[in-house]
Amino acid sequence: MRREELEVLREFASSLGLTLELIASNPMALEVPGARYIDVFDVPTGIAELLGYFEGHYAAGLYIGYIEGGRFKPGLPLARRLSSLCGVKLKCIVLDEEGEKRFLYGRTVGGGRVVEWVEGLTVVLNRLGEPLGWGLGLLRGGERVVKPVWDLGWYLRRGG
């Protein structure tokens, strides 16, 4: 990865209160020719060495997100990875059962449906600690709400 791409990842990790190593121990950027974005994977060192023998590859390791316009957009696999840090090193949002349904339908969740809340972008979990995706904790009229950024239901709604 180029230095500026690593810096984008560091800034994202810092926004969550984490270090880059907790996001990805060996990040690799794969630029798709003609695309406006760069896919980012966490690739184990041994596999990264093997990739040098191939002329081209589309994916390797764990997909963690993409960089577009100088910003990192986290992927769903990264939410799953980071969910084990919720309540330990990472402040996460937790929704009740009805809130979980609304979130997975791509709807903003508020009121008594939000069990634990934090302002800003973070991992969203259900009460069982299962990751539902990425959400944005916002204050609207004094109410704590969660706006879905990228949720598991996205694949179904987009025909994924």
Tens of pLDDT, residue by residue over 97-136, are 999 999 999 999 998 999 999 999 999 999 999 999 999 9
pLDDT above 60 for 9: yes
How many domains is the chain partitioned into structurally?
Answer: 2
For residues 84 and 112, give the distance between their C-alpha atoms in angstroms, rounded to a whole number. Answer: 24
Among 14, 43, 74, the domain-final residue is: 74
Q: Are residues 49 and 18 in the same domain?
A: yes
Nearest residue to 148 (alpha-carbon basis) of 102, 97, 111, 87: 102
Averaged pLDDT score across all residues of the chain: 90
Cα-based angle 57, 63, 64 (whole degrees, multiple of 5): 135
pTM of structure: 0.89
* Contacts for 7 with CB less than 8 Å, ≥ 6 apart: none
Q: Which domain holds residue 122?
A: 85-157
Q: pLDDT of 20-64, one tens digit each?
A: 999 999 998 887 778 899 999 998 866 655 566 556 556 678 999
Give domain status of residue 79, yes or no: no
pLDDT of residue 56: 59
- Cα–Cα distances in Å, from 48 out to 5, 7, 59, 81, 153? 17, 20, 11, 20, 32
Place of tokens 């390797």: 60
**The domain boundary residue, chosen from 74, 93, 117:** 74
Model confidence pLDDT, tens digit, residues 70-88:
999 999 999 999 999 999 9
